[in-house]
Chain A
Amino acid sequence: MIREPFRAGDTMLHRADVRIKLATCGGLVCLAALLRTTEASLAALGVGAIALTLARLSPVEAACRLAAANGLLLLLAASLALTYPGTTWEHWPMLRVEGAVLGLRIAIKANAVLCLVLALSATSSMAEMAQGLRRLGLPKKLVLLLAFSYRQLFVTAAEWERRRQALAARCFTPRMSLHSYRAIAILFGQTLLGSLDRAGRIQEAMRARCFHGVFHMLEAPGKDRAPATLENTGMVLAALGCGALLLALEAGWII
């Protein structure tokens, strides 16, 4: 149900410090999402594609992820092309030119963001990311919540799957009926209660181990900085260069 297929790998992007990856990812993603010109958006997509190539992710997996997201984007673009106020296309009057261009630009920007997220954040494990977020200064409780939720996700998913299979073994096939909805609702309710009970047990176990809010994996030992390795410096420089390029294109200094 939940996999992290992009974590494995030993490229420059996999080796870089997670804080630098998160910071560059955040910066470039914000920049890419707010672009207003088509040229700059295309350039952002190019940057994303290059990052994706550098990360050497499994092409099939990456394509699947992109395709899933693009289904929704297609719907949005189609809706905009048909309803956005503006001039109609001479060959097919139902289509609005401005809406189609806007929809396309949103799709390009969203794909650029997706590529960047795949290349820069999906190449770290969630545990590394929680550590990085904590060291970047996110509140302790929020990061603990993230780390614990991620840990429990697999347990909960397995529990849900176990209960679902028990139901399937009794020849239950979900249909569009009140009976099915009731069964799914009760299944979910049972999972919730089971998880609550388990949470109580985990809490007690943690208390027994003297947990009082410090999760050593997440805490930074003093003021450590990301080492100035080739990957880290290269990444910061590349991100700054890409950001400058996008801004220059956006302001119309290049084209």
Chain B
Amino acid sequence: MHISDGALAAPVLVGGAVLTLAGVCLGLRRIDLDNIMTTAVLASVFFVGSLIHVPLGPSSVHLLLNGLAGMVLGWAAFPCILVALLLQAVLFQFGGLTVLGVNTFIVALPAILCRLLLQGLLAKGGKAAAISGFVGGSGAVLGTALLAAVSLGLSDEGFLPTARIVVLAHVPVMLIEGVITMFAVAFLVRARPELLGNRSGVQPGLHVEHPQSDSRETARMSILLLLVASCLALPGRAEAHKVLVNAWVEGDVLLVETAFGDGSAGTKAQVTVRDQASGQVVLQGVADEEGMARLPLPEAVREAGNDLQVVSNAGQGHKATFMVPADELVGQSATVPQDPPAIASGDASETGGATALGTDVAMPPGIDVETLRLLLRLETSRAVREQLQPLRRDLRTLQQQGPRIADIVGGIGWILGLAGLAVLLRRPGRDTSCPPRS
């Protein structure tokens, strides 16, 4: 599974890197000098495994085997998969460098989940182990495909259809991985029963424990972790390019305002208005220097009484949509009298002052009380609406800024990253029996 360079947004890349960093920290703690060679050999085995092409119909697919890697390696799968992906990127230019964090995370997390969930069944051996092999092998690929889809979707909502295709394309791979992992697990359980069921992950080559934790290394890793985590705290760039669109009706003009999240105006934005029901483009225009587009509403649009979908494209894929509900159009057109009663509107507005409410005030000739009341109500409601427009605009802008999935995922990344840091700092006591450094 490779997401290529250049497709993902910066927050997703950083988030993936932070999560991978946390996972690698946890994984490295499981590796000591007695099993580092075993781990490295297993990493190379799974690297070779990912080069195996298995026939599928007229073509062939290459295996991922992350489920099996998780079952054998446990948490050490994180650094191993990172190393394997780095080797792939440098030796074959597969995958990519900037997406290394995201790719490692989306491959390694399902692998580890596989082990955590299926450990009990694997230890039973026999058919239970074989079945859990199938479940783990296919589940890990499914998890990887889903996480890839999520990272695409988080980067750009327009990627969602492509993400769906990615998941669908992995279904055959999933089945093959399941079958192959099932057979491999069945073989391993028979040949080396203690390999998959044990709790400690990688077995040390020699069973002598002397953890050497290097405090400088821990400190360096923590600093790195905090540095990357603090990158997440600078969401300015991503937020600056969030496009906000707002549209409202004033009289018979549809006003569309386009702005970026940092407050700068979306100048020269292409505004397209579609009829929500029929999907036809009813209005088009370009925003001015202040990001405002004034589009006169044709009578036909008002009479159709459908919701309007306003799409503003500020270029470079910065696009946002806003819905103008039908009642806003209808409300305005219905309250504006097409043909005012037989009075001069100028007179009405002059007399429509503070004194007009009382009926005992001397009336100008030719206007009865009911007409005046109607006119007043119309004028007042229009004035109130105009006064309220900026407020409603602000409200809508606020509503559009609710927490996005990216924020939530970023938050989880923070929590995990800090948890990883806490685990790092709580290092085991120094073992004095290890040989002194030369």
Contacts and interface: CB of A to CB of B under 8 A. Distances in A.
B192 A152 contact: no
B187 A185 contact: yes
Contacts of A37: 316
Interface string A131-175: 000000101111011101111110111001000000000000011
B36 interface: yes
Contacts of B214: 140
Contact of A72 (B4, B47, B182): B4
Contact of B42 (A69, A84, A142, A192): A192
Nearest to B7: A106
Contact of A199 (B31, B37, B195): B37
Contact of B28 (A66, A99, A142, A174): A142
A85 B158 contact: yes
Interface string B45-67: 10111011011110000000100
A195 interface: yes
Interface in B119-154: none
B438 to A, nearest CB: 7
Interface string A24-45: 0110011011111100010000
Contact of A110 (B6, B179, B182): B6
Contact of B33 (A32, A34, A84, A211): A211
Nearest to B241: A36
B5 A113 contact: yes
Nearest to B96: A113
Contacts, number: 261
Contacts of A148: 36-37, 40-41
A83 B165 contact: yes
Contact of A118 (B55, B93, B183, B220): B93
Interface stretch (B84-92, B297-305, B383-391): B84-92
Contact of A145 (B40, B56, B57, B204): B40
Interface string B19-41: 00000100010010111111111
A105 B183 CA distance: 43
A191 interface: yes
Interface centre among A148, A174, A191 (most CB of B within 10 A): A148
A200 B98 CA distance: 35
26 contacts: A2-B91, A29-B5, A69-B93, A72-B4, A76-B4, A84-B158, A110-B6, A140-B214, A142-B24, A145-B79, A149-B40, A149-B41, A151-B40, A155-B44, A157-B44, A160-B52, A180-B55, A185-B187, A188-B52, A188-B184, A192-B72, A199-B38, A200-B206, A203-B37, A212-B33, A213-B212
Interface of B: 2, 4-7, 10, 13, 24, 28, 31, 33-45, 47-49, 51-52, 54-57, 65, 72, 79-80, 82-84, 86-87, 89-94, 96-99, 158-159, 161-162, 165, 176, 179-184, 187-188, 191-192, 195, 204-206, 212, 214, 217, 220-221, 241, 272, 313, 316-317, 319, 434-435, 437-438
Given A2-B91, A110-B6, A149-B84, 11 more contacts: A34-B13, A83-B165, A98-B317, A117-B97, A141-B28, A144-B36, A149-B47, A153-B47, A181-B179, A199-B41, A200-B206
Interface of A: 1-2, 4, 25-26, 29-30, 32-37, 41, 65-66, 68-69, 72-73, 76, 79-80, 83-87, 98-99, 102, 105-110, 112-114, 117-118, 121-122, 126, 129, 137, 139-142, 144-146, 148-153, 155-157, 160, 174-176, 178, 180-182, 184-186, 188-193, 195-196, 198-200, 202-204, 206-207, 210-214
